[in-house]
Chain A
Amino acid sequence: MFQKARRKLIIPFLLPQFILFTVITLVPIVATIGYAFSDWEGQADTNPSWAGLTQFEVITIDPLFLNAVKNSFFLLLVGGVLVFIPAFMIAWGLNQPLRFRKHYRFLILAPVVLSVSVAGLLWKWMYHPIFGLLGGLLKTVGQTLGLEPLVKGVMGDTSTALTAIIIASIWHGIGTWVLLLSAGFERIPPEIPESAKIDGASDWQVFWLITVPLMWEVIRILLVLWVMQALQAFSFVFVMTGPVAVGGPLNSTQLMGTFVYLMTFGSFKWAYGMALATTMMVVIFVLSTVTNRALLRETVEY
């Protein structure tokens, strides 16, 4: 009787979410994939027709897209190293009994709560070779060592702009990864490293032979999340280079995400942009699945 009365709740409770999700998420996804096979282009085109795989054929030979893929992978790999190694060390450090622990944690996490615009503009101006605090310093370093890009400004040189943006976005986002890794550290029962130390293991051995294996499951999940997030990156490049020269200078910071934006809302190649978005989804899905499988180990029980 109790169950039967409750069953009356099912439909009214689920209906709002079902309708909103279907209309505002699922229908657009299906539409995007559908229009990827059309020739829809231009602001006035209201009657696109079927074009088969034409858009996808263009993708494979579009040097600008391949360049964007290359940059996205650079972000994925270099950014991954630059975010996970410091995040792991910081999380481990914050897990030790320290004085001022909360103060450090606050300062490391604080950028997370800033909006991308605040963080992106802050770094854009910090890098400015004349007006920026960091840019002025880099300029002096560049003049002493004869490094041209540092003198003319890291955001204006094709060899440094993407790295500069990656550093800004890591400064902004590292807090979340630190927190997630800290949560992983906290799940390790303290008796395990303690008893290893009693048995004579050094800090270093405890870290590599006990902490890392016990954390593997967490690391795997976070790396998969990183793959999904890095390949969708958009806002930092847009804020720091846009809106006139998104992905500049000379496309050296163009990512898959910004390229899709430029093709659709920037140049009204709707069908092409939707084919790009569909390709992007496939790339993200395949790579996150591969990462997940590759990192799958037999879980250590504890």
Chain B
Amino acid sequence: MDTSLAPSPNTPPPRRSRGPVLRLKHLIIYALLTAWVLPTLFAFAWVISVSLKTNREFMGRPPWTLPLEAQWSNYQKAWDRGVGAMFQNSLLIAAVSTVASVAIACLAAYPIARIPFRFSQALMTYFLIGIMIPYMLTAVPLYFGVEAARQWLLKLPVPITLDSRWLLILLYTVAQLPFNTFVMTGFFKGLPTELEEAAAMDGASPLRTFWQIMVPLATPGISSLTILGFLYGWNEFFYALIFVRDQTQRTIPLGLFYLDQQAQYTASWVGLFAGMLIAAIPVLIVFAVLQDQVAKGLTVGALKG
């Protein structure tokens, strides 16, 4: 607490019931924060306002005007014209890739952190290469590898068309592995050894010890990585741009991008704005509810290096 707030004999004690006392310093902070936050509020308000207009209003009336009559049907139309499919794709891809990546990284991190063996350090360094690498560096070979796989799957006795969604799940899973392993190794290293030994004395198998003792203890790390992973999968743009072929398999970031392109031709701008809100509102609600956990998740791993 600020020591200058301590009551001195000459002044009456500050009123504490109304929270921190307002001083010049605090006024400056409020002014600063408000200045940063106002554009955000205006931007959100504007998107909501446009999403409820008609296209004619959007074109014909000044941008700061409110909709004459709220067109709630814009949302239904946007959902039916592809935003719904994108939403489901993004949800599936982000959820499955996050769970897969955190699970695989937990498995890999456990022996590296807890079981002494030769090459454990070398393996860690090997995986860490992945954190340093710009994604541009792997894109072209991956693209041709995927093309080859597509062709091969089509030539099978029972031809299979590669679903881009499963491809994105695979790529997002792998993209997050190095970082997840790095964080989970740190977490497992920080846990006390006595628990594993005690479990072994009681006759628990190593697998059971891992699953029933170590994994629950690592929950804080796991939940942070889950949040971070979900946001990554929900927002990723580059891989989606390169690898998604079928229009029905687009994710939200990619689909909105194409919706914006289409808006030029179909003259349906309000649908784009409704789509943007459909994409934004669920994550904003989740964020509002889990603010502290998300804040913790976003910073995990960064300040230990």
Contacts and interface: CB of A to CB of B under 8 A. Distances in A.
A264 B108 contact: no
Contacts of A50: none
Nearest to A172: B235
Interface in A202-224: 203, 218, 221-222
Nearest to A276: B136
B253 A24 contact: no
A238 interface: yes
A105 B37 CA distance: 9
A5 interface: yes
A176 to B, nearest CB: 5
Chain A interface helix/strand/loop/mixed: helix
A126 B50 CA distance: 11
**What is the interface residue range for chain A against chain B?**
35 or more
Nearest to B44: A110
Contacts of B143: 265
Interface in A88-106: 89-90, 93-94, 96-99, 102, 104-106
B20 A98 contact: yes
A113 interface: yes
Contacts of B153: none
A117 B205 contact: no
B134 A21 contact: no
Nearest to A175: B298
Given A122-B47, A221-B302, A6 B115 contact: yes
A5 B203 CA distance: 11
B166 interface: no
Interface stretch (A10-18, A53-61, A141-149, A150-158): A10-18
Interface string A242-260: 1100000000000001001
Contacts of A89: 32
A32 B3 contact: no
A171 B37 CA distance: 10
18 contacts: A5-B205, A17-B127, A21-B126, A26-B126, A89-B32, A90-B36, A96-B29, A98-B30, A108-B40, A117-B237, A118-B256, A122-B43, A125-B50, A175-B298, A183-B299, A203-B25, A261-B136, A277-B140
